[in-house]
Chains A and B, each alone.
Chain A
Amino acid sequence: MKKTMMGNYAASWGAQLARVQVIAAYPITPQTLIVEKLSDIVADGDLDAKFIKVESEHSAMAACIGASATGARAYTATSAQGLALMHEMLHWAGLARLPIVMTNVNRAMAPGWSIWADQNDSLSQRDTGWMQIYASSAQEILDSTLIAYKVSEKVLLPTLISFDAFFLSHTMEVVDMPDIELVDKYLPPYKPDYKMDVNDPRSFGALTDEQYYYEFRYKMQEAMDEAVDIIKEAGKEYEKITGRLYDLIHPYRCEDADMILVTSGTIADTTNVAVDELRAEGKKVGNLRIRVIRPYPKKEILEVVKGVKKLAVIDRNISPGYSGIFSQELKSALYNEVDIPVRSYIAGLGGRDVKIEDIKDMANDALKNDAPNDLIWKGVKL
Chain B
Amino acid sequence: MVIKFQKNDKPVIITGAKDMPPMGAALGSMLQNKTGSWRNVRPIIDYDKCIKCFICWKVCPEPAIKIVDELPVIDYDYCKGCLMCAEECPKDAIDFEKEGK
Contact = CB atoms under 8 A, between A and B. Distances in A.
A194 B20 contact: no
Given A194-B22, A219-B20, A219-B22, A211 B1 contact: yes
Nearest to A213: B24
Nearest to B2: A211
B30 A97 contact: no
A211 B3 contact: yes
A212 B21 contact: no
B16 A194 contact: no
B68 interface: no
B24 A212 contact: yes
Contacts of A211: 1, 3
Interface residues of B, number: 16
A219 B25 CA distance: 14
Contact of B29 (A96, A156, A200, A219): A200
A208 to B, nearest CB: 5
Q: Is the interface of A mostly helix, strand, loop or mixed?
A: loop
Contacts of A222: 17
B49 to A, nearest CB: 32
A218 interface: yes
A215 interface: yes
Interface in A196-223: 200-206, 208, 211-212, 215-216, 218-220, 222-223
Contacts of B3: 211-212
Contacts of B17: 215, 218-219, 222
A216 B29 contact: no
Nearest to B1: A211
Contact of A216 (B1, B24, B26, B30): B24
Given A201-B30, A204-B23, A206-B26, 20 more contacts: A95-B24, A96-B24, A97-B23, A194-B23, A194-B25, A200-B29, A201-B31, A202-B26, A202-B28, A203-B30, A204-B24, A204-B25, A204-B26, A205-B23, A205-B24, A211-B3, A215-B17, A216-B23, A219-B20, A223-B22
The 3 A-B pairs with the shortest beta carbon distances in the complex, nearest first, are: A97-B23, A203-B26, A215-B17
Interface of A: 95-98, 156, 193-194, 200-206, 208, 211-212, 215-216, 218-220, 222-223
18 contacts: A96-B24, A194-B23, A200-B29, A201-B31, A202-B25, A203-B26, A204-B24, A204-B25, A204-B26, A205-B23, A205-B25, A208-B24, A211-B3, A212-B3, A215-B1, A216-B20, A216-B24, A219-B22
